[in-house]
Copies of this chain bind each other. A is one copy, B any other.
Amino acid sequence: MLNIKRLSYEEAQVLIDGAAQKAREMGIPMCIAVTDESGHLIKFDRMDGGKISSISIAIDKAFTGAVARKGTHVYNELCQPGKPTFGIHMTNGGHFSIIGGGLPVVVGGEIVGGVGISSGTAHEDVECAEAALAYFYKTTGLTA
């Protein structure tokens, strides 16, 4: 039997809080998604003014961060035309995101969930996702 660590409902809220706080600082109302380690949604928030098109993008980014185990911005580089992974954004029913803003949530060397941010530019979304993770580690005392 395998023993899996998974983000709890309360820990997912910490990621939401960290992302929302950063989004307010940036002045960009964001869509924020948190999944478990298997890519299934735990929490989603669309701040007032967050983009409708970013609802599914944020969810896909969190999914990809959790289950493909890399930041979605890393896949963006790996999947450019000319690269051997070109085309991976079409897989998983189109839910494999290669736009920056999705990150795995790592605790004690294990991926326990994913966080995905969307509504800004890809760079702004990455910045907000990283801030969510930093807030998560600081608030919970957990370490990567």
Whether A4 sits at the interface, judged by CB under 8 Å, is yes
Q: How many residues of A contact B (CB 8 A)?
A: 62
- Complex Cα distance, B74 from A13, in Å, reads 33
Whether A117 sits at the interface, judged by CB under 8 Å, is no
Residues of the B chain whose Cβ atoms lie less than 8 Å from the Cβ of A93: 56, 94
A-B contact pairs, 18 of them (CB 8 A): A2-B7, A9-B47, A9-B48, A38-B52, A39-B52, A40-B52, A40-B55, A41-B55, A51-B69, A56-B91, A57-B91, A79-B86, A84-B100, A84-B122, A86-B98, A89-B90, A90-B90, A93-B94
Task: List 8 additional contacts besides A53-B68, A88-B99; criterion CB under 8 Å.
Answer: A2-B5, A3-B5, A3-B6, A38-B38, A39-B52, A51-B68, A76-B87, A91-B97
